[in-house]
């Protein structure tokens, strides 16, 4: 005989005999519809198992107390909406009771006092209401933002001791927890390849308590495939919009942006998905944009949006996924957690989205193994310092880079085993090298390599760590090792636009500029609002392929020139005999670095093939750059 502790939910139809007497066939048909369209998908969402169905009710089992109560709240809220417009004497109304108790398991059925108490609690509930035992109350208090009213100690049939009973108020707090009903088969605008099944997951949002997203809310205006700036990819495509900061504190933006960026990074690991890059989605940050506009601008079918509200050491994270092509909400979830639980929320959101989009089960399993090996920071303070460092790193100035380094070093000090902090350090060191923010470039490269190797030792599945190690190897002229690390990075994260563009840029120095151009163009599709350096990289591939007009076209798109873009543009003009324009670019480069020369620039541009370096030097010589 098997026994176990579990959460039991009992549901019953109020006035079932009266309804059956008035219209037996109609009542059964409507009840069957409620079960198929509401109970079953919500049970799947919350991991509930239907033990048995009776004519007038159901007995269910949940592994999680919080999930059982969330299920009950959603069902009762949805039933109120379904009954709107139905004659009062024809409405199907449920009572629900929930208990935690020890049960006896026989086959698929369950017995015992735990089941009996749940049934008695259901009988104490008001029509359309929910009653829970004190044990349930103790588990959900502080985890779900609900009004729980104590009804006192109740004597119930066949139970020796009085039962302490609470009712769940179906007020605005409860309504804020409601998420859309998602059927197993969703409506599709077109057929996908086998790896790509439909809908994406997201989290439902309550704003200010007075407005909440409800499953009966009208769909959003669909996006037009014809108006899309790019053709839809041949696999599920998604843009994760920057989460909204509902904390009322601008200083929390770094935390909100960090969550958004992490979800993008985790989703982009899956080859079965097409994920728009951070740079492009962050162009919408703080702007009142419509989902269909985002989809049309970026050429995607799915859009994820959400919010974070922080209060002291607690956070509420909400999000929702929308199929922009059909204009339908697909999935939503809300998390009320301790601040330190943000890591598990990130993982859960990512996995739900990927599973809903139909990524390979093998990829999901591999991601789960990678997460199991990954070590989250020992304290939230380390994560906090890391995210503040990321925010400063993205500003791309010498001063901010130095500030970011201090923050990453603080994160390492707080937790020497936190791999992302070492990735952050590798970033600030390589940026010192790239942008000339150090008088010791060789030392900056060595520091990049050391930090990247430390990160890989702690977490081999970090694509950016392998990418940064590749950059360090390339700067040292170790081209074979560099290519190997680029390959490893792209296997880990095939949708990482900056990584693709970075490898494309590096391919120029490996002697394969045409391959580099292909990589960069793929990156541009993943990142339609790409940063300037993509055009600099594409211009460099064109120059080394002797396509000087294309090189000039690419470099002229650059709005913030660094010395590399000025000098490659000068060399391109010179190769076409446009010497006046070439000399103007050389003058602009000298304004950026008064000591720049062909010899100095040659030390920065580390080409594997001497002939490629001489091709650059020849163009610069024609342009008039001093030797």
Q: Report the pLDDT value the prediction gives residue 30, as an integer from 0 to 100.
A: 87
Mean pLDDT of 381-393: 90
Q: Report the pLDDT value the prediction gives residue 184, as an integer from 0 to 100.
A: 47
Q: Report the pLDDT value the prediction gives residue 375, as an integer from 0 to 100.
A: 54
Residue ranges of domains in the chain, CATH in brackets: 2-175 (3.30.70.1230), 206-373 (3.40.50.10610), 374-489 (1.25.40.10)
Q: Kind of pairing, strands 94-106 and 130-133?
A: parallel
Tell me how far apart the alpha carbons of residues 574 and 308 are, in angstroms, rounded to a whole number. 53
In this prediction, what percent of the chain has a pLDDT beyond 70? 89
pLDDT band at 323 (very low <50, low <70, confident <90, very high): confident
CA distances from 25 to 22, 31, 89 (A): 9, 10, 16
Residues 6 or more apart whose CB falls under 8 angstroms from that of 102 comprise 3, 4, 5, 112, 113, 114
Q: Report the pLDDT value the prediction gives residue 362, as an integer from 0 to 100.
A: 47
pLDDT at residue 461 tops 50: yes
Mean pLDDT of 108-132: 90
Which strand (E) or helix (H) includes residue 518? helix 513-526
pLDDT at residue 141 tops 50: yes
**Residue of 364, 369, 362, 315 lying closest to 343 (CA atoms):** 315
114 three-class SS: helix
CB 13 within 8 A of CB 94: yes
pLDDT at residue 278 tops 80: yes
Residue with tokens 């039962």: 163
Question: Per residue in 557-597, pLDDT tens?
Answer: 998 888 899 999 999 999 999 999 999 999 999 998 899 99
Give 400-435 as a 3 state SS string: HHHHHHHHHHHHHHHCCCCHHHHHHHHHHHHHHHHH
Tell me how far apart the alpha carbons of residues 625 and 583 are, in angstroms, rounded to a whole number. 8
Question: Per residue in 523-535, pLDDT tens?
Answer: 999 999 999 999 9
Question: Per residue in 222-245, pLDDT tens?
Answer: 899 999 999 999 888 999 999 998
**Residue of 95, 109, 93, 107 lying closest to 50 (CA atoms):** 109
CA distances from 1 to 4, 60, 106, 139 (A): 10, 20, 7, 28
Backbone angles phi, psi at 59, to 5 degrees: -120, 125
In this prediction, what percent of the chain has a pLDDT beyond 90? 50
Please tell me which residue, 456 or 192, carries the higher pLDDT value: 456
Tokens of 540: 């460099």
Mean pLDDT of 201-217: 33
Tell me how far apart the alpha carbons of residues 420 and 408 are, in angstroms, rounded to a whole number. 9
Q: Kind of pairing, strands 244-245 and 302-311?
A: parallel
pLDDT at residue 267 tops 80: yes
pLDDT band at 42 (very low <50, low <70, confident <90, very high): very high
Average pLDDT, the chain: 85
CB 358 within 8 A of CB 236: yes
Q: Report the pLDDT value the prediction gives residue 378, as an integer from 0 to 100.
A: 67
Residues 6 or more apart whose CB falls under 8 angstroms from that of 235 comprise 192, 193, 195, 196, 272, 273, 274
Tell me how far apart the alpha carbons of residues 278 and 264 are, in angstroms, rounded to a whole number. 7
pLDDT at residue 308 tops 50: yes
What is the DSSP-derived secondary structure letter of residue 231? Answer: P
What is the DSSP-derived secondary structure letter of residue 341? Answer: G
Question: Per residue in 413-432, pLDDT tens?
Answer: 999 999 999 999 999 999 99
**Residue of 552, 486, 501 lying closest to 531 (CA atoms):** 501
Question: Per residue in 326-345, pLDDT tens?
Answer: 887 777 777 788 887 777 77
Q: Report the pLDDT value the prediction gives residue 85, as an integer from 0 to 100.
A: 75
Question: Per residue in 434-447, pLDDT tens?
Answer: 888 888 989 999 99
Mean pLDDT of 366-383: 61
Least confident of 4-8, 9-13, 145-149, 619-623: 4-8
CB 302 within 8 A of CB 199: yes
Tell me how far apart the alpha carbons of residues 441 and 432 are, in angstroms, rounded to a whole number. 7
pLDDT band at 188 (very low <50, low <70, confident <90, very high): very low
What is the distance of C-alpha 157 from the center of its chain?
A: 50
pTM of the model: 0.63
State whether the Cα torsion 546-551-552-555 is positive or negative: negative
499 three-class SS: helix
Mean pLDDT of 306-313: 84
Tell me how far apart the alpha carbons of residues 513 and 206 are, in angstroms, rounded to a whole number. 50
pLDDT at residue 470 tops 90: yes
Which strand (E) or helix (H) includes residue 2? strand 2-13
pLDDT at residue 156 tops 90: no
Question: Per residue in 87-107, pLDDT tens?
Answer: 888 899 999 999 998 788 877
């Amino acid at each position: 005989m098997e026994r176990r502790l579990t959460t039991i939910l009992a549901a019953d139809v109020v006035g079932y005999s009266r309804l059956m007497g008035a219209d037996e066939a109609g009542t059964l048909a409507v009840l069957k519809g409620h079960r198929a369209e509401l109970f079953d998908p919500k049970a799947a969402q919350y991991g509930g198992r239907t033990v048995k169905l009776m004519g007038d009710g159901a007995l269910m089992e949940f592994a999680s107390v919080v999930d059982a109560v969330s299920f009950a709240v959603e069902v009762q809220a949805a039933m109120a909406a379904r009954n709107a417009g139905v004659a009062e004497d024809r409405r199907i109304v449920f009572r629900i009771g929930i208990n935690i108790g020890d049960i006896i398991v026989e086959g698929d059925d369950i017995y015992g006092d735990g089941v009996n108490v749940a049934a008695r609690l259901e009988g104490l509930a008001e029509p359309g209401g929910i009653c829970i035992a004190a044990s349930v109350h103790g588990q959900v208090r502080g985890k779900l933002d609900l009004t729980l009213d104590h009804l006192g100690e109740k004597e119930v049939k066949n139970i020796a001791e009085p039962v302490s009973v609470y009712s769940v108020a179906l007020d605005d707090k409860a309504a804020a927890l409601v998420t859309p009903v998602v059927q197993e088969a969703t409506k599709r605008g077109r057929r996908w390849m086998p790896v790509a099944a439909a809908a994406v997951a997201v989290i439902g949002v309550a704003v200010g308590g007075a407005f909440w997203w409800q499953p009966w809310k009208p769909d959003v205006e669909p996006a037009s495939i014809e108006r899309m700036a790019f053709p839809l990819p041949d696999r599920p495509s998604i843009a994760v919009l920057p989460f909204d900061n509902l904390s009322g504190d601008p200083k929390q933006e770094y935390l909100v942006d960090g969550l958004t960026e992490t979800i993008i990074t985790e989703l982009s690991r899956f080859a079965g998905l097409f994920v728009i890059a951070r740079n492009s989605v962050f162009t919408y940050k703080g702007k009142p944009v419509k989902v269909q506009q985002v989809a049309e601008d970026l050429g995607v079918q799915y859009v994820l949006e959400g919010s974070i509200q922080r209060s002291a050491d607690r956070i509420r994270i909400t999000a929702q996924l929308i199929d922009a092509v059909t204009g339908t909400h697909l999935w939503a979830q809300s998390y009320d957690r301790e601040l330190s639980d943000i890591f598990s929320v990130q993982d859960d959101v990512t996995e739900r989205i990927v599973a809903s989009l139909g990524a390979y089960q093998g990829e999901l399993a591999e991601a789960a193994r990678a997460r199991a090996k990954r070590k989250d920071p020992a304290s939230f303070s380390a994560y906090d310092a890391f995210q503040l460092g990321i925010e400063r790193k993205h500003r791309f100035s010498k001063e901010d880079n130095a500030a970011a380094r201090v923050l990453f070093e603080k994160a390492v000090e707080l937790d020497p085993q936190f791999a992302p902090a070492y990735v952050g350090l590798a970033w600030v060191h390589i940026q010192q090298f790239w942008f000339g923010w150090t008088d010791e470039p060789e030392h900056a490269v060595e520091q990049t390599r050391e930090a990247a190797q430390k990160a890989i030792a702690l977490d081999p599945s970090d694509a950016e760590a392998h990418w940064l190690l590749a950059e360090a190897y390339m700067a040292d002229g170790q081209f074979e090792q560099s290519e190997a690390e680029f390959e490893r990075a792209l296997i880990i994260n095939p949708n990482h636009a900056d990584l693709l563009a970075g490898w494309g840029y590096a391919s120029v120095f490996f002697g394969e500029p045409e391959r580099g151009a292909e990589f960069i163009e793929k990156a541009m599709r993943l990142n339609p609002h790409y940063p300037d350096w993509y055009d600099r990289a594409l211009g460099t591939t064109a120059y080394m392929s002797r396509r000087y007009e294309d090189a000039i076209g690419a470099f002229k798109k650059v709005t913030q020139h660094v010395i590399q873009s000025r000098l490659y543009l000068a060399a391109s003009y010179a190769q076409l005999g446009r010497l006046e324009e070439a000399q103007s670019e050389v003058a602009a480069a000298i304004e950026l670095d008064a000591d720049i020369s062909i010899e100095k620039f040659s030390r920065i541009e580390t080409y594997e093939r001497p002939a490629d370096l001489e091709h650059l030097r020849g163009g610069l010589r024609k342009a008039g750059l001093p030797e």
